[in-house]
Chain A
Amino acid sequence: MSAELRERLAPLFGAARRIADPGDTLGKRARRELPDQTRLSPASVELALARCLETGASDVELGRFSSRTPKSPRSHVLLSANVFTAALRAIATGLVASPRVFVRASRREPKMAEFLAEAAPSSFSLTHELRPEPGDQVFAYGSDATFDALRRTFPEGTLLRAHGPGFGAAAVESAAVTPQEEAELARTLSYDVALFDQRGCLSPRVVWFEGPLERARSFTRAVAWALVERERELPPGELAQRERAERELQRAALTYAGHVEPAGAGFVALLEEPPPHPPELGARSLLVIACADAADAARPHAAKVTTHATAGSAQFSAKLARILAKSRASVWGKLQSPPFDGPVDLRSLPDLD
């Protein structure tokens, strides 16, 4: 890792430290303005700033980040509204790639980028329109269809670094976990679910539970209870009408398909066998899938999993890691705080050999 890169990122980390600091003027403004912008509750914004906003990185992490990032003379970054702290890593990705970075903030949530630009004005340029030139890289997130459409708007020779949709997951080997440990797993997982009101691509949406159905039922109840507890501590923000509608459609579909445990505003659904197409739940809801073999149950969906945490024997975790090889291996309660060693989603890293 070069000193030049650390120097390039230093102002950005400095800005992040000011935003994370509740005593700093920028930190105070962030706490005042971000809840409205992000539709998260003030308590959720505070937790996200404390847990998910990176304010530094080790040399090892930065070295890995650099080796994972292709270089170009200029980079362009298109920010999303869903996870406000992710603006920092997205901009950092551009900075690791290039000395000159142009950032287009989300219209729905421009604040975080504005705060970073205000505190680190020389790091990157905020712009209303991305105008890449041949040889430039554009870092963007979206569906395949939108990437195709986006690609057509850029000049030939522009390199689009596309991150597709995905979700976080967890897996439990009940034979290797005590009921007491399960309750603690449920508690830590509930923070991962609650963060950003489950709008991120690292947000957990499914748990593959290997073991007897009765244990899966008990775990489902524990997660539901934990989500109710989190709701008291971290009240959910405002949901858009279509998010509420989607939640109710999914609640009804899963009531038909399995057992649904209410969990405050959301729910936890238990399916007694792996479904062909598990729905990707949101709005603080989770799907628990009872199964005889978690790795087998996860295999068909491996391409969509961005990050995963396991609880069980070393062999169990290793098997899941092999199946979910492209996803980040994480731990319970830290699914939304991956090491600062590359983009949060490692599935579509280019081959740099």
Chain B
Amino acid sequence: MSFAAGPLGESDALHARVRAFARGASGDDFESLALAIARFQARYSPGFSRLVGQAPLDRVEQLPSVPADAFRVTRVAVHAAEHDAARFVTSGTTGAESGTHAFRTTDTYAELSLAFGRRALTSHGRRPTVVALADRPGERPSSSLGFMLDHFARSLDGRALDGAPFQPSAPDRYLLRASGVDLASLRRAASIAHERGEPLLVLATAFALVALIDALGGARLPLPEGSAVMQTGGYKGRSRELDPVVLRNSVAESFEIPGNSVVAEYGMTELSSQLYEGTLEGAELRAPPWTLLEPPWLRVVPVDPETLAPVAHGNVGLARFIDLANIDSAVAILTRDLVRRNELGIELLGRAPGALPRGCSLAVEALLESGRER
């Protein structure tokens, strides 16, 4: 295959190389691809070029990272806005701090997210019936999660629940309403999966799962054998927060599924790849609970918050991602998430606290802290 000269042609060629790498059909290795993408971005992105400065781009460990905060301050993209195929918007806790991740093409994102999601969320290769405890993403999803849920529903299931032609945004597939979880539709989906002899795959945000537990009020909604729940995202102030263990146990109890069938997914708008737990019985990904596994095209490096140098194995650091699927934005992303590497993968330990609270006269936080100490 040949590609046009110039940034768009180079981008196309890199997308093809990354997809081939993800399929295991490539002579490239991770390092050479990461460096090729970094050089491409340094050539065509003035922002990344400034971060690189005079540094040689010859070692992955030394690639400068673009802080996720940069997406809130400026456009982080190699290509011009006129070539955007999608723009995914981040949502902060307050909703006021949103940034945008522009994609020239979503093909690589779609292929790679599905490839790894399938390995984490499907058991013994069985086709699931798919529903989402999430808002309907609409025709052109503005969130990367919405895009991914739509793609999973289309690709892992691909059938309408009522026998009609498949419609990804059908209301009976997205079961989070302004009033809460649509329990009747969820029961119906479980019943259809039972009739089909399939597992039900429930794609859900954390706050939607809390809404589910609240809506059930202690009642059960049994799912077919082999069913799974993909749990993603934080609460973003949309519900009360539950301890992760309590949430997992409550969801498993409500659906009458094993706790290890509730599988955590980690993704963020600034990335194009996701990490998963490998706990679902019969799934390809295998790891103990609370360990997130990276796909072969993503690498997480815990780094010192100040020097940004990798910390010693087993120590806690900020999560630095090398994401080969971020071809047209930033191949190396630095976040405020605190992580630790164990023998199998990554443990997520929360968010770095950021700067000390600033303010002149008075401080509430201190009083609350002292209250917690008592």
Contact = CB atoms under 8 A, between A and B. Distances in A.
Return the 3 tightest CB-CB contacts between A and B, nearest first: A142-B364, A245-B305, A141-B362
Contacts of B334: 249, 252
Residue among A249, A275, A344 facing the most chain B CB atoms (10 A cut-off): A249
A149 interface: yes
8 contacts: A78-B367, A79-B361, A142-B365, A163-B361, A198-B358, A256-B73, A276-B73, A279-B73
Interface string B299-334: 000000110100000000010000000000000001
A83 B73 CA distance: 28
B368 interface: yes
B73 A253 contact: yes
B78 to A, nearest CB: 12
Contacts of A240: 356
B29 interface: no
Given A140-B363, A200-B360, A241 B370 contact: no
A242 B353 contact: yes
B140 to A, nearest CB: 20
Contacts of B336: 249
Contacts of A344: 360-361
Contact of B48 (A78, A166, A256): A256
Interface string B321-356: 000000000000010100000000000000011111
B356 A242 contact: yes
Given A83-B360, A130-B367, A199-B356, 9 more contacts: A80-B366, A104-B367, A107-B366, A140-B363, A242-B354, A246-B355, A256-B76, A344-B360, A345-B360
B10 interface: no
B74 A245 contact: no
A114 to B, nearest CB: 16
A142 B74 CA distance: 28
Given A256-B51, A277-B72, A83 B361 contact: yes
A78 B363 contact: yes
A316 B14 CA distance: 50
Nearest to B53: A255
B361 A89 contact: yes
Interface in A249-280: 249-250, 252-259, 271, 275-280
A167 B355 CA distance: 14
A279 B355 CA distance: 12
Nearest to A344: B360
B306 A201 contact: no
Given A252-B65, A257-B47, A80 B360 contact: yes
Nearest to B374: A129
Contacts of B59: none
A299 interface: no
A14 B364 CA distance: 28
Nearest to B93: A145
Nearest to A200: B360
B361 A203 contact: no
B360 A86 contact: yes
Q: How large is the interface on B (under 10, 10 to 19, 20 to 34, 35 or more residues)?
A: 35 or more
Contacts of B72: 275-277, 279
A244 B306 CA distance: 6
B13 interface: no
Contacts of A204: none
A283 B356 CA distance: 11
B358 A242 contact: no
Contact of A78 (B98, B306, B366): B366
Contacts of A246: 354-355
Nearest to B237: A145
Contacts of B295: none
B257 to A, nearest CB: 34
A341 B361 CA distance: 15
Contacts of B96: 277
Contact of A139 (B97, B352, B355, B362): B362
Contact of B359 (A80, A258, A271): A80
B356 A249 contact: no
A41 interface: no
A150 B367 contact: yes
B97 A277 contact: yes
Contacts of A67: none
B70 interface: yes
Contact of A282 (B74, B305, B318, B358): B358
B284 interface: no
Interface in A118-159: 130, 139-143, 146-147, 149-150, 153
Contacts of B48: 256
Contacts of A153: 368, 371
Contact of B66 (A104, A166, A252, A280): A252
